[in-house]
């Protein structure tokens, strides 16, 4: 029903027989109760696993992916051919050790890599949902993951871990299902999206909506894709994932394969060429409506607002142990956002470690080879494993 990758003009339904990962399907008896007030059914969730579930079923780890991530955290991506997006942190002998833990990562509800989202077939109309798909929240994503774990016979998680939008899911897991999360590690994230972050997302959405090939969200019906709008959205977002020092170090004002500016609107500077490439490659693997939905889910996220305006209330009585990680040069989710989480956990008397990693790589540092992050994860997870008796 949902599509691993949508190609222009192709009926989404026709791709159902090309699964790139296992899929759990849920019928009308197992609708997904969404915050928008809709019971979504049928629906499905695509996932990947690595490692082996132990006999006690006590070694499960849930990896939560970021906005444009997917379930291919530790295996080759079916579209890009690249390795797993978190193979620096997850794998044999890595902090999330697939020799010791059973690791699951599921494509979130509203996305486009096999889980039901706006590009999926709407059984009520026989066409893709488009904007008829209900708005998705971080809580809906987590509900969907919980139903997947139920299906897999996993009662509780040894660890829930993720960065950025993945970190929001980790926080939501700890708040919604405290008894199911032994240890939680939200990285480079916040308990709510700031006005500036909402602003950047809104610009990206408007870029998509401005593309005439978007057709009011019905582009799949007419065989087009708003590739230019989505490309512009990605280019703008990509700047926010990096940092000024990282951009300066990587590109500076260096010219692209030339000695002098061309006095034209060509990509004279390497940074321009790089950004255009980011835009072009992104649209090959991502659905524009899914981008609208997932950015909106992040904008709506405000864990304190869901708990009487007091973030600590989200965590009262929890027995989950936390490790919070931020990066000094992350200006999308600055350290202050992580500190607010730490303060709330302190107020809720929850066990919490906090690591601010010195890095000039910006928000994307959580995806990169950051030794201090990797050793923090290794230490926290090993200690939690001992406490868990693993």
Q: Which residues are annotated as a binding site?
A: 234, 364
Place of tokens 């890009």: 80
Instruction: Kindly state whether residue 340 participates in binding a copy of itself, applying the rule CB under 8 A.
Output: no
Of 20, 231, 241, 335, the one binding a copy of itself by CB under 8 A: 231
Of 94, 139, 180, 193, the one binding a copy of itself by CB under 8 A: 193
* Residue 110 contacts residue 133 (beta carbons within 8 Å): yes
CA–CA dist 303, 300 (Å, integer):
9
Q: How far is the CB of 94 from a copy of itself (least distance, A)?
A: 32
Q: Binding mask 173-192 vs a copy of itself (x if CB under 8 A, - otherwise)?
A: -------------------x
Give which of 55, 56, 38, 158 is closest to 104, Cα–Cα.
158
User: From the candidates 72, 193, 201, 363, which is the catalytic residue?
Assistant: 363
Count, residues near a copy of itself per rule CB under 8 A: 58
Instruction: Kindly state whether residue 134 participates in binding a copy of itself, applying the rule CB under 8 A.
Output: yes
User: From the candidates 111, 164, 243, 329, which is the catalytic residue?
Assistant: 164
Instruction: Kindly state whether residue 211 participates in binding a copy of itself, applying the rule CB under 8 A.
Output: yes
Active site residue 164: yes
Of 106, 279, 315, 345, the one binding a copy of itself by CB under 8 A: 279
User: From the candidates 70, 268, 330, 337, which is the catalytic residue?
Assistant: 330
Place of tokens 């006095």: 263
Q: Binding mask 42-81 vs a copy of itself (x if CB under 8 A, - otherwise)?
A: ----------------------------------------
Nearest CB to a copy of itself, comparing residues 56 and 260: 260
For binding to a copy of itself (CB under 8 A), which residues are involved? 35-37, 131, 134-135, 192-196, 198-200, 202-203, 205-207, 209-212, 228-229, 231-232, 235-236, 239, 242, 244, 247-248, 250-253, 261, 263-265, 267-269, 271-272, 275-276, 279, 292, 296, 299-300, 302, 305, 331, 334
Catalytic residues: 164, 330, 363
């Amino acid at each position: 029903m949902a599509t691993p990758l949508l190609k222009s003009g192709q009926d989404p339904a026709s791709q159902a027989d090309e699964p790139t990962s296992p899929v759990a399907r849920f019928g009308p008896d197992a609708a997904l109760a969404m915050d928008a007030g809709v019971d979504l059914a049928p629906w499905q969730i695509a996932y990947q696993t690595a490692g082996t579930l132990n006999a006690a079923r006590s070694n499960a780890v849930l990896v939560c992916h970021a906005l444009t991530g997917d379930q291919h955290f530790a295996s080759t991506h079916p579209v890009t051919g690249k390795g797993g997006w978190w193979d620096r942190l997850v794998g044999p002998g890595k902090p999330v050790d697939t020799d010791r833990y059973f690791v699951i990562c599921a494509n979130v509800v509203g996305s486009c890599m096999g889980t039901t989202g706006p590009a999926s077939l709407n059984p009520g109309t026989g066409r893709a949902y488009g904007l008829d798909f209900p708005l998705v929240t971080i809580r809906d994503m987590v509900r969907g993951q919980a139903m997947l774990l139920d299906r897999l016979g996993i009662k509780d998680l040894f660890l829930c871990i993720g960065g950025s939008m993945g970190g929001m899911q980790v926080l939501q897991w700890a708040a919604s299902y405290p008894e199911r999360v032994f240890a939680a590690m939200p990285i480079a994230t916040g308990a709510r999206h700031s006005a500036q972050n909402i602003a950047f997302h809104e610009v990206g959405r408007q870029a998509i909506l401005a593309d005439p090939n978007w057709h009011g969200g019905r582009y799949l019906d007419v065989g087009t894709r708003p590739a230019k709008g989505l490309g512009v959205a990605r280019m703008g977002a990509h700047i926010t994932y990096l940092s000024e020092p990282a951009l300066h170090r990587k590109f500076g004002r260096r010219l692209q394969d030339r000695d002098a500016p061309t006095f034209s609107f060509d990509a004279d500077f390497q940074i321009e060429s790089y950004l255009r490439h980011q835009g072009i490659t992104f649209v090959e693997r991502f659905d524009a409506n899914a981008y609208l939905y997932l950015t909106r889910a992040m904008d709506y996220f405000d864990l304190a607002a869901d708990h009487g305006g007091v973030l600590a209330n989200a965590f009262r009585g929890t027995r989950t142990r936390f490790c919070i990680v931020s990066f000094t040069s992350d200006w999308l989710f600055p350290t202050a956002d992580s500190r607010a989480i730490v303060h709330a956990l302190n107020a809720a008397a929850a066990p919490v470690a906090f690591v601010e990693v010195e890095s000039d790589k910006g928000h994307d540092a959580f995806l990169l080879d950051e030794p201090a992050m990797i050793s923090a994860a290794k230490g926290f997870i090993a200690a939690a494993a001992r406490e868990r008796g693993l």
